[in-house]
Amino acid sequence: MSQLRKLFEPIKVGKLDLKNRIVMPAMMVGLGANDMVTDRFKDFYAERARGGA
């Protein structure tokens, strides 16, 4: 586990302070409609935010 220790350490990226180095990149999830945000889209990201990463 020691080789992953840095993954859980804080890091500063520009002016942004991150609590750890775990991030979720932008990606196409196919939950929008006509270039608009839908309830399914919001639920998808809300669930990930509840996960804590």
pLDDT, mean over the chain: 89
- Residue of 2, 18, 53 whose CA lies nearest to 10: 18
Distance CA 7, CA 22 (A): 7
Q: Which two tokens stand for residue 3?
A: 């080789």
7 pLDDT band, cuts 50/70/90, is very high
Q: pTM value?
A: 0.55
pLDDT tens per residue across span 10-28:
999 999 999 999 888 888 8
